[in-house]
Amino acid sequence: MISRIRQYFSSSAGTARRLEAGPLGSVGIIAGNGPFPIRFAREAKAAGHTVLAVCHEGETDPAIENEVDRVVWVKVGELGRLISAFKDAGVKRIAMAGGIGRVNRFGDIKLDARGARLMLKLRTTKDDVVMRGIASELEREGIVVEPCTLFLKDCLVPEGALTRRTPNEAQWSDIHAGAAALHAMSAHDIGQLVVVKQGVIVAVEAVEGSDAAIRRGGELGGADTVVVKIPKPTQDMRFDVPTIGKRTIETMQAVGARVLAVEAGSTLMMDGPAVVELAEREGIIIVGFKSA
């Protein structure tokens, strides 16, 4: 099984790079937190592109400086500086990789003039609305916002079980219950993940993030919970793709969760073979499914 997963997550990489290489030339990254920006930068470089990363102080891993051709650091909220960095460098195509801690927006964030105008126009701090607003501002300046999976299509979770074990009937029932709950909540921008136990939703992801929701679900539901993660039907997949990794499995193992079900074709799994190998060792099932 592990060898099959290794083959899947490596077989399409070369094809994806050949298809995406060439027409883009220079590529820009709006870099947020987590490992995603670094992985995107490495894949873009491997495809032969020069890469400019606009990084956010206090959010982006400084190690990205070793992976790109040029870095510009900005504070969260400095939209004008962010756009100017790409325009000054002549970068016409960019991707947004990694998140910005939503809780930070409730703190002391100093918006520049362009950021302030955008927030006044949007009149909301909802993640998806703000990101679409930023994308619109970029495209108004002639900068195309590409899908963040541009060089990572080989990291999208396929349909079916990735582990030797597969969900049993009761676990499938919990998976479907979790998917139905997420679809029902989708209009309220609450989160992408729920934790389910015997048909009961015991935790819902909010501003704290997926790992904290999984831990809370384990505290409330005990062992053998089912974790379901899918994108909202209205989610803009250019910059907001559900992501899982080794930390997801480690968090599940710590609370005794047993199944991780994610939307096939719409969920990124970084370091896929290593994630599956860890799940096998910890007795955790990973399955990609179609929720619609």
**Residue pLDDT, tens place only, 238-277:** 888 899 999 999 999 999 999 999 999 999 998 899 999 9
Q: What is the pLDDT of residue 49?
A: 94
Q: What is the pLDDT of residue 110?
A: 81
Same domain, 118 and 217: no
Q: What is the pLDDT of residue 108?
A: 56
How many structural domains compose the chain? 2
Which parts of the chain have pLDDT scores under 70?
1-24, 102-108
Same domain, 111 and 160: no
Residue 60, domain member (yes or no) = yes
Q: What is the pLDDT of residue 252?
A: 98
Residue 280, domain member (yes or no) = yes
Residue 151, domain member (yes or no) = no
Q: What is the DSSP string of 158-175?
A: PSEESSSS---HHHHHHH
Same domain, 209 and 95: no
Residue 166, domain member (yes or no) = yes
Can you point out the beta strands (E) in 9-114? 26-31, 50-56, 70-74, 93-97
The distance between the two most distant Cα atoms of the chain, rounded to a whole number of Å, is 57
Residue 2, domain member (yes or no) = no
Same domain, 213 and 164: yes
The CATH number covering residue 25 comes to: 3.40.50.20
The CATH number covering residue 214 comes to: 3.40.140.80
Q: What is the pLDDT of residue 1?
A: 56
Same domain, 217 and 190: yes
Last residue of a domain, one of 145, 168, 203: 145
Same domain, 141 and 161: no
Last residue of a domain, one of 84, 116, 145: 145
Dump pLDDT digits (tens) for 199-208: 999 999 987 8
Residue 4, domain member (yes or no) = no
Same domain, 133 and 165: no
Same domain, 162 and 70: no
88: Cβ contacts below 8 Å, ≥ 6 apart: none
Same domain, 66 and 135: yes
Last residue of a domain, one of 145, 173, 207: 145
For residue 59, what are the domain limits? 12-145
pTM of the model: 0.80
Residue 283, domain member (yes or no) = yes
> Burial level of 9, CB count in 10 A (0-12/13-18/19+)?
buried
Residue 254, domain member (yes or no) = yes
Q: How far is CA 284 from the centre of its chain?
A: 21
Closest by CA position to 164, among listed 267, 287, 81: 287
Rounded Cα distance between 128 and 78, Å, is 18
Question: What token pair was written down for 116?
Answer: 């302030």
